[in-house]
Structure 1
Amino acid sequence: MPSKGVQTYTYIAVPGCSIEISVPGQTVVKNELHQFWNSDLEVESDKIHSFLDKTGRFTFKVLHDGRLVTEQWVEVNALTGGIGEGTMTTIANTHSIIHPDPRVIVSYGFYEAGQGHGILPGRHQCYITVTPNYSDWLGRVAPVGSRQKDQPFRRLAIASAHDVGMNSMQNCAAVLKHAGGAVVRTLVANEEKYAQALSEIADKVSGPAVALMAPNIVSSLAITQKDPLPTILALGARYFEFRPAHCHNQVRQYLPDKLYFQHSAIPGMAYDNFLTEVVRFLVDHPTEIIVVQLRWDGVPEECEKPDDKQQNEYLQAALRQFEGHEHHVLAGDLADLHNMTIGDMRRNRKRLIMLVSVDSVSTYTDAGNATLNGDSIVKGFGTVLHPNCCGGRGFINIQCQATASNIPKAVVYSVLEASASTSCLLATKPVCDSKTLPWVRNNALRSCGNNDLVVIMNDFFDGATADVALELSRERLG
């Protein structure tokens, strides 16, 4: 009988929590801690009692000691594979849920596979992580007064939200509204792989249609996060890369003239807003330390970059907002990252480490991370990482995110079949995480040694990524 599959992935790190997943005729309950689980649940037409309407619900519930924390659902048509109504019909509706009592965060995502043509998954994809609120996780693994606080900061493993500034279409949408959809060609012109994808899209639809699809094109290429920054911080991210620059000369007049995160020339989060939220978080959470790296790879010349003076002006403006606060913050640098203990940083208030274009050991390669299943990413981990791999460079960056946006056919399919819950980057996250994160958890301690900061980076930042980093930090601090 006709059916549509929903490949579902779960991770739980909170005792007493369970995830109940159901489709017509089947319910699965998961409560094992720190286990990466996945299975296919089928919405089968013969399990739906209506003769005319073969739509069934895919539902997940998160419970704590039997009490409901959240319930999310979406209708799935067993015949066509399409989705109908529900709470997960748009990526923008799947923000992580911060629950006050118990203090847990449910992070989840849903990818609509459509008919399953092309090279992207044929089954819908859903991932769910349930983890503690990690707003103060460094205070847990290196408490004030503990011996762990006297360990070098570089002993930590910290989680990172890849391209944190691309967590919303807000600023790009404003540009598209004023400049028109055709400007998308300008915004991605310096990236050959993106230009190729646009060319293939243009071969299939008219120029005006391409312009109308501009938001879908941008979303498929560039949106790598879906939560607000305060939520990403509460989930546990402590390392961020930011590419601050002015908007492309041809669209600069359409937004307030200041620095924005630039993905190619696609504008994301404003840099002043980013810094303010980071400093605010540190002031509110005095045990925590955040590392920010500024870099400009992939940013075209037409996006004016800030000089040292302007970079410092933005930083000092953010710090000044909280001067006089009991837990006000000062900026540190690479030398502090390498030489200070966790306790030293807290005592000297240098809890915001600012780096600029610091060289690091990275597992990322264009070929290896352009994957639909994660196997080549894991293979790259084993090739790059060994106890002496850092070799005097700043830190080790383990990049778990797949870049299906580097595969033109994946972008073309994602755009042409796009709905509000379709993204080629989101399509690959669950399956890749189910392979990369267990590898990191089981091998990073041996593969990375114990003397260099380890960053664990991921798209659509989630609790499992943070939990793996936290547990590695516990082990490395002893």
Structure 2
Amino acid sequence: MVKKNFDYYFINSSPYTLEAQAENADGSYALSPISVPSTPLITAGSCEITFETHLTHSSGDFQFRTDTLPPHDFRESINPLTKATSGPLEDMMQTPSVIGSDFSLSYGMFDAGSESGTGLTGNDQIYAYLTPSQQNWMGTLAAAHPDVRNAPFASFALPGAHDAGTFDLAQVDKLLGDAAAHKALTEAVSSWFSEAGDLTEWIGRMLKHVIVGEAVTQKDNVSTMLDLGCRYFDFRPGHVLAPFRSILPDLYHIHTLIPGQTYKGFITDVLTWLLANPTEIVAVHLSTSGFLEHSTMDPTTEELKSQFMEVQQTTGATSIQIGSAADLQTSYSDLVKSNRRLFFLNQPSLNWFPATSYGSYNSSYETTDPQVILNALGAMTESGQSGKDFTVLSLQATATGQNKINNVIALLRSFSKADSPLMSTKPMMDCNTYPWLLDNVCNLRNDNLLALPNDFVDNALAGSIASVLTLQRCGP
């Protein structure tokens, strides 16, 4: 008998039904049908799908479904020989969140391999979060609660996107389509793992797969992230390395050296969305954190300013005013009235709308242990917030930094498109950090804007966490 283990994490704060079940290869239940309740916040558990070795013609499966309008049904099958999954979750980059007229649904899966030494879980991970629509959560909250409407923007808690532009692989595809650029990119990525010997040939053969596993922290585009309730964006605009500059001459989100969405495209998406959603405010943190070569990749202040102004004109968004750190104590109501709804809280060295921050992220985040992240969050203090413009509680774990060589070897050996080390920790971290936020953010200052960046933006962070914290922080 062979088996496949699944961990599941479900949230349902909507008026609709979210149900799940799992079946063994012989048709019996590995997980009897469950209907996810509204409490506790997260319904989590494990199940073991089994296969008799002689039943190679059949497969087990894991399923979750909603009775939303329209309904959604996701059934992932497991091959009894390879234990590989197939179905709507088999490719991480093809699992877009669903935005309905009155609901949002975000979901994802990590397909665990059999490699040892990675430090990653050996169980497949599935999550699905179903909430009411989060598209206008700020306006809805302010309309219902005068304390929120009249509170300074600094009292808000903002769901955030860590490395917000990594979902866009168009630039990577352009480089892979050019032989010389493909070779140079292979060598550059291989240099991350030079201590393990020469992996260049193998990385070259599976370069895009390695890039997705090592550098992609978001799978939804910016408009969808905004519809899911995201209101804080960690965007890192910069130039590509010199060998790629003739193919990619613009500014892009840079993850170490990997280019993602264009800076202009990001600004276009944000401004276009703000025009369509007049009750919402978005904060953007531009930085060059993690760049491989600051001397050649960092943008100039003039580039950032001129390209923003160009996009503002082309989108017809000149009516939207820019907010800065100096405006954080202005009330939500006054900001909306004056249309000051795009805040820039940028890295001071960029010399454009500078802001200072106090953050939880440190080297310990290179982990797969939720307790390590909770310890980092718990170390944040009111005194540390003093004199800073905003506070950043990072919720993601950077599993790619732990056992780096074994992780990339596992990616090279994998046939799955859902084996991202970064996705492997997403739901288990949420299961720990989201309740922690509800219980502990009260220990921090209420007059210091709170950003909550996470990997793989989801609707629950807005609907079940940030809106609740904002109401608490804005109260008497």
- The match for 2:286 is 294
Q: Could you report, residue by residue, the CA deviation over 1:213-264 in whole angstroms, capped at 9, with x for unpaired residues? A: 2112211221000011111000000011211112211111122x21111111
- The match for 2:337 is 347
1:282 and 1:309 mapped to 2: Cα distance?
Answer: 24
Pick aligned residue for 1:336 from 327, 331, 336: 327
Q: TM-score, normalised by structure 1?
A: 0.90
- The match for 1:164 is 164
Q: Could you report, residue by residue, the CA deviation over 1:390-436 in whole angstroms, capped at 9, with x for unpaired residues? A: 11112110101010111214532442233211111011111111111
The alpha carbon displacement at 1:6 in A equals 1.2
Q: 1:324–1:359: structure 2 CA closer, same or farther, 3 Å change rule?
A: closer
- The match for 1:39 is 45
Structure 2 unaligned regions, length at least 5:
348-354
Whether the aligned pair in 2 keeps the contact of 1:18 and 1:62 (CA below 8 Å) is yes
- The match for 2:372 is 376
User: What one-letter code is carried by the residue in structure 1 that aligns with 2:401?
Assistant: N
The alpha carbon displacement at 1:353 in A equals 0.7
Task: State yes or no: 1:184 paired with 2:188.
Answer: no
Structure 1 unaligned regions, length at least 5:
189-193
User: What one-letter code is carried by the residue in structure 1 that aligns with 2:266?
Assistant: F
Q: 1:258–1:52: structure 2 CA closer, same or farther, 3 Å change rule?
A: closer
- The match for 1:191 is none
Segments of 4+ moved more than 6 angstroms: none
Q: 1:438–1:284: structure 2 CA closer, same or farther, 3 Å change rule?
A: same
Pick aligned residue for 1:388 from 370, 383, 386: 383
SS at match of 2:425: helix
Q: 1:12–1:286: structure 2 CA closer, same or farther, 3 Å change rule?
A: same
- The match for 1:109 is 108
The alignment-based identity, stated in percent, is 27
User: What one-letter code is carried by the residue in structure 2 that aligns with 1:97?
Assistant: V
Q: TM-score, normalised by structure 2?
A: 0.90
| RMSD of aligned residue pairs (Cα, Å) | 2.2
2:405 and 2:44 mapped to 1: Cα distance?
Answer: 26
Map 1:78-477; keep pairs closer than 5 Å. 78-83=80-85, 85-100=86-101, 103-115=102-114, 117-118=116-117, 119-143=119-143, 146-178=146-178, 179-184=180-185, 187-188=188-189, 195-200=191-196, 202-203=197-198, 205=199, 207-255=200-248, 257-299=249-291, 300-301=293-294, 303-323=296-316, 328-337=319-328, 339-357=329-347, 358-366=355-363, 368-383=364-379, 385-407=380-402, 408-418=404-414, 419-445=416-442, 447-467=443-463, 468-477=465-474
The alpha carbon displacement at 1:295 in A equals 0.8
2:419 and 2:228 mapped to 1: Cα distance?
Answer: 24
Q: 1:321–1:365: structure 2 CA closer, same or farther, 3 Å change rule?
A: same
Q: Which moved more, 1:296-305 or 1:388-397?
A: 296-305
SS at match of 1:224: coil
Q: 1:2–1:322: structure 2 CA closer, same or farther, 3 Å change rule?
A: closer
SS at match of 1:254: coil
Q: Which moved more, 1:24-33 or 1:425-434?
A: 24-33
User: What one-letter code is carried by the residue in structure 2 that aligns with 1:170?
Assistant: A
The alpha carbon displacement at 1:4 in A equals 0.6
Q: Which moved more, 1:173-182 or 1:396-405?
A: 173-182
User: What one-letter code is carried by the residue in structure 1 that aligns with 2:183?
Assistant: A
Q: 1:286–1:231: structure 2 CA closer, same or farther, 3 Å change rule?
A: same
User: What one-letter code is carried by the residue in structure 2 that aligns with 1:306?
Assistant: P
- The match for 2:57 is 53
1:94 and 1:198 mapped to 2: Cα distance?
Answer: 33
The alpha carbon displacement at 1:288 in A equals 0.3
Q: Could you report, residue by residue, the CA deviation over 1:306-363 in whole angstroms, capped at 9, with x for unpaired residues? A: 32222111221222234488xx3111211012x2111121122110011221331111
SS at match of 2:126: strand
Q: 1:287–1:293: structure 2 CA closer, same or farther, 3 Å change rule?
A: same
- The match for 2:352 is none
Whether the aligned pair in 2 keeps the contact of 1:81 and 1:114 (CA below 8 Å) is no
Whether the aligned pair in 1 keeps the contact of 2:56 and 2:81 (CA below 8 Å) is no
Q: Which moved more, 1:217-226 or 1:73-82?
A: 73-82
1:377 and 1:195 mapped to 2: Cα distance?
Answer: 28
Whether the aligned pair in 2 keeps the contact of 1:249 and 1:302 (CA below 8 Å) is no
SS at match of 2:385: coil
